[in-house]
Amino acid sequence: MMNQSNPQDLQRESKEESDIELFGIDEVRSLVQGSDHLGNEQKVVTRFPPEPNGYLHIGHAKSICLNFGIAQANNGDCHLRFDDTNPVTEDIKYISSIVEDLAWLGFGSGKPKHFTSDYFDQLYEWAEYLIKNGDAYVDDLSPDEIREYRGTLETVGKESPYRERGINENLELFRKMREGEFEQGSKVLRAKIDMEAGNLNLRDPIIYRIINVDHPRTKNSWRIYPTYDFAHGQSDAIEGITHSLCTLEFEDHRPLYDWLLDHLPVSIRPKQIEFSRLNMTHTVLSKRNLKYLVDEGLVSGWDDPRMPTLSGLRRRGIPADAIKTFCVGLGVTKANSTVEMAAFDACVREYLNENAQRRMAVIDPLKIILENFEEGRIEQLEVENSPKSESFGTRNLTFSREIYIDREDFMEDPPKKFFRLSPGKEVRLRYAYLIRCKEVVKDTEGKIIELRCTYDPETKGGSAPDGRKVKGILHWVSSHDAINAEIRFYSKLFNTEQPGKSAELIDDLNRESILVHKNCKLEPSLLKFGCEETVQFERLGYFCKDTDSSQINPIFNRTIELRDTWSKLNPSNIS
Ligand code: ATP
Ligand code: MG
């Protein structure tokens, strides 16, 4: 888990907003139905309203980029509002994770946080206002009866026998509900709209229910809590939100959103605008499912590097800016669709290709002795940290008689097109020299334990003065200063494109989504890298230090492969 006091978190707090161009009002305007409701002088105010019942995932990032982006691009404001109206599932720990994830993306730091629970008094007062105007009533029907009375899309609803209660009786009962005088589930407050409405949301929706549970913030002050529908639009009005962006499932709730604002003494009219939610293949983007994975121990926690949560992606080494670039690329539309995980990966890869430094590491070390390199001699090679820009600087690599290459890069009996190392063949060691394999040393069981090679001192930097062509280039590390590390390789958490669709979620789980290599060898400069400083291991992929690392036991996560091997193996996954 993230350590609150580590210097990187502090850095995160002061992180400047990045220069990625986010959304402007034009994108939103195309979603607004009818004429633009916003006067020229009015400041744009949006909100991001997570319910603190889980960690944020990449779908939330889309909403964050949209809401904060619109505010930023229009010199407006975006409120982080915790939509904390259901104390049964909510927890303070989720609040801190949400704040941290948001700050990591570069939003919300140093700004006030808003809570729906801060408006409980006002919301209660408005509920009484509705009762006093004959627009709400206390209903004694059981939850099952309420469902039955509501009717269906094909049949109209039936009015509750309690619908015509007098105002005073309603007020008295509602006040008793607040005092905790009734059992949970025995009464609710409903808006009195129209049981025959075509839109089910308008068939006298519940606006308050009894929940005999303490709230993380208001403790035992309340025994009744407002429903999402009642709390949301009213909180928008209280905060002066101009554009209330939500996902498409709420399109049918918009008439109710507007009805409530019409029937309450609010001075501002926020506008609800719907956009499509982000769905992605090979993962689940629902807090309920993610919580299930955590609770069942199917992953190591919300920040497991295989999770689509922001904390999981961060821990795996995906940079915040890559996520933002991806979200902006998605655009804002009303068309529901599922994005290929491969598209996200491609975006991350493209970002890291430009922005990650390069280093060398060996996963499965095979020792090489360079017979003609003097014992005890250490040569310093100055090498660039990235070919992409000189601004990444250079570092010194040490070269010595004993080095490691990856076992995969040697074959004793190679097929024709194998350009890596084999007996008698020559390869180039990246940044260093050409070497030739002279002898293969095996243990008693026939396992190769060492290669004896020679290096050509005339080929420093890797090119031969006589112009001879050597095709293979290998990464390597010098044995005398290499550091030992564990490297964790991840693949997709689920085997199917839409996990849980045609089987139980658990049956779609990829049981081989982690592969751990111990005893890997890294060049020593990698010790200086912090978590989240993703780096390319040459020829191997992108990696970053895991939060489980210690000084004596560094652990690296593979963030992503250099190329998309998944789609190659599974051609049907290419869109
Ligand atoms: P979940 O289904 O994961 O529990 P939710 O919508 O219940 O999601 P909230 O905490 O209520 O989660 O979400 C906060 C905001 O993020 C809402 O405005 C919601 O519309 C938006 N959001 C959630 N999931 C997505 C998604 N997959 N794509 C885009 N926006 C999303
Ligand atoms: Mg929600």
Question: pLDDT tens digits, residue range 517-559?
Answer: 999 999 999 999 999 999 999 999 999 999 999 988 999 999 9
Q: Is the CB of 276 under 6 A from ligand 1?
A: no
The answer to whether residues 164 and 47 belong to one domain is yes
Show which of 448, 475, 502 is a domain's final residue.
475
- What is the average per-residue pLDDT within 473-480? 97
51 and 165 both lie in a single domain? yes
C-alpha angle 351-536-423 in degrees, rounded to nearest 5: 140
Q: What is the pLDDT of residue 37?
A: 61
235 lies in the same domain as 294:
no
Spatial separation of the C-alpha atoms in residues 306 and 527, rounded to whole Å: 24
- By most ligand atoms within 8 Å of CB, the mutation choice from 63, 94, 339 for ligand 1 is 63
Q: Which of 15, 113, 150, 277 is catalytic?
A: 277
Same domain, 32 and 80: yes
Are 512 and 440 contained in the same domain? no
Which atom of ligand 1 is nearest the CA belonging to 63?
A: 30
- pLDDT number for residue 27: 72
> End of a domain among 233, 250, 275?
275
The pLDDT score that the predictor gives to residue 116 is 98
**Residue-level pLDDT at 82:** 98
Residues 434 and 497 in one domain: no
Strand partners, 219: 215
pLDDT in tens, 151-183: 999 999 999 999 999 999 999 999 999 999 999
> Across residues 368-392, what is the average pLDDT?
97
- Residues 282, 268, single domain; the answer is no
* Nearest-angstrom CA–CA distance, 189 and 209: 7
Tens of pLDDT, residues 325-374: 999 999 888 888 899 999 999 999 999 999 999 999 999 999 999 999 99
For the domain that residue 298 is a member of, what is the CATH number?
Answer: 1.10.1160.10
Full DSSP string of 438-501: EEEEE-TTS-EEEEEEEE-GGGGGG--TT------EE--EETTT-EEEEEEEE--SBSSSSTTS
Domain at 221, CATH number: 3.40.50.620
Residues 136 and 283 in one domain: no
Q: What pLDDT does residue 7 have?
A: 37
Element (H, E) at 96: helix 92-105
Q: Do residues 471 and 540 share a domain?
A: no
Domain boundary among 445, 475, 505: 475
State yes or no: is 51 an active-site residue: yes
Q: Is the CB of 78 under 6 A from ligand 1?
A: no
Among 51, 128, 379, 402, the one annotated catalytic: 51
Verify that 109 and 248 share a domain, yes or no.
yes
259 is a domain residue:
yes
* Percent of the chain with pLDDT strictly greater than 70: 93
| Inter-helix orientation angle 58-73/92-105, to 10° | 60
Judged against a pLDDT cut of 90, whether residue 567 lies above it is answered with: no
Q: Is residue 1 part of a domain?
A: no
pLDDT at 342: 95
What tens digit of pLDDT does each residue of 300-323 get?
999 999 999 999 999 999 999 999
* Angle, vertex CA 145, rays to CA 144 and CA 150, nearest 5: 105
Q: Does position 393 have pLDDT exceeding 50, yes or no?
A: yes
Query: How many separate domains does the chain show?
Result: 3
Question: Who's near 292: CB < 8 A, 6+ residues apart?
Answer: 298, 505
Residue 572 to residue 222: CA distance in whole angstroms? 53
pLDDT digits (tens, 9 = 90+) for 89-100: 999 999 999 999
CATH number of the domain at 463, please.
Answer: 2.40.240.10
- The question of whether 277 is a catalytic residue gets the answer yes
- Whether 555 and 488 have beta carbons less than 8 Å apart is answered as yes
Is 287 assigned a catalytic role? yes
Catalytic residue among 254, 287, 314, 315: 287
- What does the pLDDT read at residue 232? 97
- pLDDT attached to residue 38: 61
The model's pLDDT over 436-445, given as tens digits with 9 standing for 90+, comes to 999 999 999 9
Residue 50 near ligand 1, beta carbon < 6 Å: yes
Stretch 404-431: mean pLDDT, rounded? 97
Q: For residue 573, is it within any domain?
A: yes
> What is the C-alpha to C-alpha distance for residues 550 and 450, in angstroms, rounded to an integer?
30
What's residue 570's pLDDT? 54
Compute, in angstroms, the gap from residue 440 CA to the centroid of ligand 2. Answer: 62
Quick one: pLDDT band at residue 407, thresholds 50, 70, 90? very high
Cβ of 541 below 6 Å from ligand 1: no
Tell me, yes or no, whether 191 lies in a domain.
Answer: yes
The CB of 49 under 6 Å from ligand 1? The reply is yes
pLDDT at residue 388 is higher than 60? yes
Asked if residue 225 lies in contact with residue 86, where contact means CB atoms within 8 angstroms, the answer is yes
User: If you average pLDDT over residues 189-209, what whole number do you get?
Assistant: 98
Give me ligand 2 centre to Cα 50, in Å.
7
**Poorest-pLDDT segment among 123-127, 266-270, 542-546:** 266-270
Q: Is residue 351 part of a domain?
A: yes
Q: Is residue 73 located within the same domain as residue 167?
A: yes
What pLDDT does residue 3 have? Answer: 39
Q: How far is the CA of 49 from the centre of ligand 1 (A)?
A: 8
Residue 2, in any domain of the structure = no
So what's the pLDDT on residue 10? 35
Q: What is the pLDDT of residues 240-259, one digit of tens each?
A: 999 999 999 999 999 999 99
pLDDT band at 211 (very low <50, low <70, confident <90, very high): very high
pLDDT at 574: 37
**Interhelix angle 120-132/167-179, nearest 10 degrees:** 160
103-121 average pLDDT score: 95
> Is 4's pLDDT higher than 70?
no
Per-chain mean pLDDT for the chain: 92
Residue numbers of the domain that contains 165: 7-275
Ligand nearest to the CA of 55: 1
Centre of ligand 2 to C-alpha 52, Å, is 9
Spatial separation of the C-alpha atoms in residues 393 and 383, rounded to whole Å = 9
Q: How far is the CA of 59 from the centre of ligand 1 (A)?
A: 7
Q: What share of the chain has pLDDT > 90, as a percent?
A: 86
Same structural domain, 314 and 354: yes
